Amino acid sequence: MTWTDGPIEGCIISPLKKYADHRGWLAEFFRQDELPSHLHPTMGYISMTLPGIARGPHEHVHQTDLFLFFNGQFKLYLWDARKDSATSGHRLILTVGAENQVAAIVPPGVVHAYSNVGQTEALVVNCPNQLYAGKGKQEPVDEIRHEDEENSPYLLI
């Protein structure tokens, strides 16, 4: 598969605007009045990734992710694998983290991964719009994993 570098329909990358004072800083990443209701988070989690480690690539059938990259140094990879998308076949690679703090909305069907390219462990927060494994963790996980596929078209550079 040959990818075209460029924006991806439905992916929204927003800088985190920090409000700093003598105590530290604060940054809003979700406001109910600025996000369509079908994207409102239903849960949240934080993960720590060690240097040199990647998470993904994978995609969701129904879930939209709202990732927050605010420390460390990551490469964020997005591939539009949706056949009906205006940007089908596009790939977007960004360096995000402490030097480029962003909220990244990733819709269903967009394959995504991130890799800690820094020298220290780093944190990522995700606030998806679906519950992991459904209510009470009683449903199948909405995830199509690609990281162990031989000849995967989703290569981390």
CATH number of domain containing 23: 2.60.120.10
Q: Which residues neighbour 2 within 8 Å (Cβ) at sequence distance 6 or greater? A: 89
Q: How many CB atoms lie within 10 A of CB 125?
A: 15
Q: Evaluate whether residue 49 is within a structural domain.
A: yes
Tens-place pLDDT, residues 9-57: 999 999 999 999 999 999 999 999 999 999 999 999 999 999 999 999 9
Which residue in this structure is represented by tokens 């078209």? 153
Q: What is the pTM of this model?
A: 0.94
Query: 125 is in which domain, residue-wise?
Result: 4-27+39-145
The token duo for 20 is 């700093």
Residue 1 in this model has a pLDDT that exceeds 90: no
For the chain, what is the domain count? 1
Question: Exposed, middle or buried by CB within 10 Å (0-12, 13-18, 19+), for 140?
Answer: exposed
